[in-house]
Structure 1
Amino acid sequence: MSQQYVIFKLNDKYFGVNIAHVMEIIWPQKVFKVPDTPPYVEGLINVRGKVFALLNLKEKFRLPDTKVMDEEAKMIIVMINSKTLAFMVDVVEEIISIEDEEIVAVSDSSLSHCKKYLKGTAKFGDRSILLIDFEPILNETQK
């Protein structure tokens, strides 16, 4: 079966999130810091009266934070099992369809520390796209 994914970049890596979980893609918002949170929790954002936790996926996935936020930067708000969160991305690239049988296990050893947050990887053209599984991230964030 084919599913659609929102493709975005963190540094030079391509990631995808199932479009069924994407509530909204927005411009960066003011972040309200929250003390005593894990390093990957940037804080809270308020979008039209609704408050969301903002995660730093580069921190969570141990990627260097090399890109300066610019006009291409976006925040993606996702909902999974009625829980919502937001995260920053360097750029939203496109929406693509990926067949379930095209998804394979992640073999990149440099990502071994974050494999539990990835459903798998898929090839699209000459790009390798890492597909994020937000359930384990949400479960950790809710603790």
Structure 2
Amino acid sequence: MQIIVFTLKEKYYAIPTEDVEEIVKEMPFTHVPKAPYWVEGLINIRGNAITLINLYKLLSNTSETEELCYNSIIILKNDDKKVAFAVDSVESVSEIDSQDIQMTDYVSAKEVAGIIRLNNKMISLISMEALFSINEG
């Protein structure tokens, strides 16, 4: 299984590459009035408007007003839907064995599918199903 490792507020996260359409550098976005607090706005990728989500706010369930400081945007696809997640930085693309994923009972966030230990770092593997279901709500 191949994963993309990225950071949010100095913590490491990963998503499977099969869910990723592309990674782009930060870009301007248009604010959307009355959108949920975790929606930063809309970005334009080759003529397509895609929702830009502040992944830190979404995962931490915080409505902090801290300015979004990101360097990369990960565009994910799920069937015919696309969504963009703003992240601090993309660290690497790594190959892991599915046995390397620790499924734990103490992971309280439904967005976390498991924990991976890679290069002496603890990395939270994000559940794409949970992220897309939150985004739809």
TM-based fold match above 0.5: yes
TM-score range, shorter chain: 0.7 to 0.9
Change (3 A) 1:108 1:128: farther
- Between 21-30 and 59-68, report the one with greater CA deviation: 59-68
Matched, 1:123 2:117: yes
Q: TM-score, normalised by structure 2?
A: 0.87
Question: Please, which runs of 5 or more residues in structure 1 have no aligned partner?
Answer: none
Instruction: Please say if residues 83 and 138 of structure 1, whose CA atoms lie closer than 8 Å, have aligned partners that are also in contact.
Output: no
Corresponding residue of 2:58: 60
Deviation at 1:105, TM superposition (A): 2.5
Corresponding residue to 1:35 among 33, 42, 47: 33
Q: TM-score, normalised by structure 1?
A: 0.84
Change (3 A) 1:126 1:67: farther
Corresponding residue to 1:88 among 67, 74, 86: 86
Corresponding residue of 2:12: 14
Instruction: Please say if residues 3 and 94 of structure 2, whose CA atoms lie closer than 8 Å, have aligned partners that are also in contact.
Output: yes
Instruction: Please say if residues 55 and 88 of structure 1, whose CA atoms lie closer than 8 Å, have aligned partners that are also in contact.
Output: yes
Instruction: Please say if residues 11 and 66 of structure 1, whose CA atoms lie closer than 8 Å, have aligned partners that are also in contact.
Output: no
- Output the CA distance in 1 between the equivalents of 2:128 and 2:100: 20
- Between 12-21 and 130-139, report the one with greater CA deviation: 130-139
Deviation at 1:81, TM superposition (A): 2.6
- Output the CA distance in 1 between the equivalents of 2:90 and 2:97: 21
